[in-house]
Chain A
């Protein structure tokens, strides 16, 4: 009989050998790599260990203008002249190439943004590929999707993507836009440009006509220049609610169509008849997936008081087997926080939570000495009026509140300016439908959480944004229906 042993997992590092990061990246305009007119570059670093990855071009207004012109020319002379079937074929090719380079894209995404390789490999990249596959198939079926409504492309779209799912958000933007016949200029987030730039290479390899996809890298000012450009027919933005409001304001007095996918403070509700072990696992996934950098994260947990003690104990126990560490390690559950700035924001909120009198729980675990890391954190005894229960933290921090009746929790869940997602855990079907009917959220997950599919529409209510991405509904964002 063997004695008890403590065994820890050996690191299982994904190799970075297949990834080639260039020392410097230019802008991708009109099918070619072009040095920025701004003559400026910025540094991109790996948040896991703060090492330098590459220099990225910083586009200014003149660069953005070049890109929009290229997109407009490509739209007028080439892309709008192609049949839907031909557009679809380009998208199928892109999807195939992405599949072929899946591992490279996953490793790149992890290096650039800090997310665990398991997630990049098993979630981000496959979903991104599938998104292109899905929308490729719609390109020649628009008349059947909207019979009698005369669907027509908008023209040129300006798109701004965030740093939490860089490649996936790019897919959510570009695939439907191209399928519907538009051309695009896309600005990725400044901390995560690499997979967008790799995507540009894929577009070249696919033989996509020049100017159909343009990538302009840069900071918020580049994004603002894009939004302000007069020759765009459409703006699509995923990011914070604060910036979303700025963009909505900037579009006033123009004919630009707008869709916004913004922040959230989504309620995750466990009713007393829920399968508790499954609910606990679902809660963990809801807030710690992707370090909590998820707009639809289940960041407010509501537990029915009769089971609260039991659920809390199980949550705390479960936290002990969450591995925080090197994102390239296949054992890692929680990787690096995307940037120093974001880590500081999260730490400020944790401090605020303590000041507001909430009780904190964090497991004992060692964090790497370099890089940006945060322990998974629970706050109990949180009041509805606490700021940590109202404001989006965007990190691995869960606030926990109890409730007595369903009516009460529905009220509390809706009592927020946000309305992106919600989770409900219960064994009763009738209750699922009854509660989901009342929740002011664009996505309701019942007995599951954080499930995404190209065929499933995603988007928010209220200040979480408007417009849907994915599914049949996702086509509407990139079409107009003139009578």
Chain B
């Protein structure tokens, strides 16, 4: 289950078409030596790599998610953020992972932050929008709750903790707070919103604890990759290692699983 929820990610300044193509292959062939493994949910890349990824993934069913809006800092004029998003969509992105303007949010400019999210959502038409809060830059859980409610009201399909570029990222208090916002919204309106913790979830054990949190706080309806994603790069291999250990009873070595 956890494997099928991964957004396999590469977001480095030094990403090249070759790197992205290899990642896309790994996404479809996690560990061919083991039978019946699922594919990951999506591959997450910069807008400049969306076209490459789309071609490499073909008709595998794996989505292409693109970061945008001047990821990771979000410090750019709206015209730049708009172009960033449109470029990704034109190249075939199925999902957009946008960042909020943290500076504006901390300065109390909530209307601005709301309008930005709503505007990007409008561009998305059929693509699903994930809104990244970068909780490590926010001051308190009160703020995490506030931005969660705000983003959901502005049209987010998914709320996401982090860019993965700073620590702390997806800690349990932060995740629990966001799940609380999703639950309250569902209780009031019946509408489901997706959750994506990203950053810091590198072990299978942590992933399972996160899934248990979702099961108990939201319910089992959220336990599919339509409503829940892990933003991770090294998690996949740890899941494979642990799965292998469960099958064989022996602790595994990273040497037997390809990095990408």
Contact = CB atoms under 8 A, between A and B. Distances in A.
B52 interface: no
Interface string A87-109: 00000000000000000000000
A5 B225 contact: no
Interface in B222-254: 223-226
B112 to A, nearest CB: 27
B187 interface: yes
A277 B213 CA distance: 14
B220 A3 contact: no
Given A277-B180, A313-B187, A2 B1 contact: yes
Interface size class of B (residues with CB under 8 A): 10 to 19
B115 to A, nearest CB: 28
B223 A5 contact: yes
Contacts, number: 25
A321 interface: yes
Given A313-B187, A321-B216, A2 B4 contact: yes
Nearest to B226: A1
Contact of A4 (B180, B187, B216, B220): B220
B5 to A, nearest CB: 9
Nearest to A3: B224
Given A277-B180, A313-B187, A1 B4 contact: yes
Interface string A1-22: 1111111000000000000000
Nearest to B142: A275
Contacts of A277: 176, 180
B158 to A, nearest CB: 15
Interface in A297-325: 313, 321
B74 interface: no
Contacts of A1: 4, 224-226
B168 interface: no
B55 to A, nearest CB: 22
A156 B226 CA distance: 68
Contacts of B187: 313
Contacts of A321: 215-216
A313 B215 CA distance: 17
A2 B180 contact: no
A5 B1 contact: yes
A6 to B, nearest CB: 6
A6 B226 CA distance: 16
A321 B217 CA distance: 8
A2 B224 CA distance: 6
Contacts of B4: 1-2
B153 to A, nearest CB: 19
Of A3, A6, A277, most buried by chain B (CB within 10 Å of CB) is A277
Contacts of A4: 220-221, 223-224
Contacts of A313: 187
Contacts of B38: 2
B152 to A, nearest CB: 16
B180 A5 contact: no
B83 to A, nearest CB: 32
A309 to B, nearest CB: 11
A6 B4 CA distance: 16
Contacts of B220: 4-7
A68 to B, nearest CB: 52
A6 B221 CA distance: 10
A401 B259 CA distance: 58
Contacts of B221: 4
Interface in A1-48: 1-7
Of A2, A4, A5, A6, most buried by chain B (CB within 10 Å of CB) is A2
Interface in B193-215: 215
Contacts of B224: 1-4
Interface string A309-350: 000010000000100000000000000000000000000000
A377 to B, nearest CB: 20
A3 B220 CA distance: 10
A7 to B, nearest CB: 8
A5 B225 CA distance: 12
A2 B216 contact: no
A450 B41 CA distance: 42
Of B4, B38, B216, most buried by chain A (CB within 10 Å of CB) is B216
Interface string B1-36: 100100000000000000000000000000000000
A9 to B, nearest CB: 8
Interface in B54-77: none
Nearest to B176: A277
A4 B225 CA distance: 10
A321 B187 CA distance: 17
A277 B187 CA distance: 14
Interface in B82-101: none
B77 to A, nearest CB: 37
B220 to A, nearest CB: 6
Contacts of A5: 1, 220, 223
A7 B226 CA distance: 18
A277 B173 CA distance: 12
Nearest to B181: A277
Contacts of B225: 1-2
A321 B213 CA distance: 10
Nearest to B212: A9
Nearest to A320: B216
A313 B223 CA distance: 22
A317 to B, nearest CB: 8
Nearest to B177: A277
Nearest to A321: B216
A404 B131 CA distance: 40
B184 to A, nearest CB: 9
A330 to B, nearest CB: 13
Contacts of A6: 220
18 contacts: A1-B224, A1-B225, A2-B1, A2-B224, A2-B225, A4-B221, A4-B223, A4-B224, A5-B1, A5-B220, A5-B223, A6-B220, A7-B215, A7-B220, A277-B176, A313-B187, A321-B215, A321-B216
Given A3-B224, A321-B216, 20 more contacts: A1-B4, A1-B224, A1-B226, A2-B4, A2-B38, A2-B224, A2-B225, A4-B220, A4-B221, A4-B223, A5-B1, A5-B220, A5-B223, A6-B220, A7-B215, A7-B220, A277-B176, A277-B180, A313-B187, A321-B215
The 5 closest A-B pairs by CB, nearest first: A321-B216, A277-B180, A2-B4, A4-B220, A2-B224
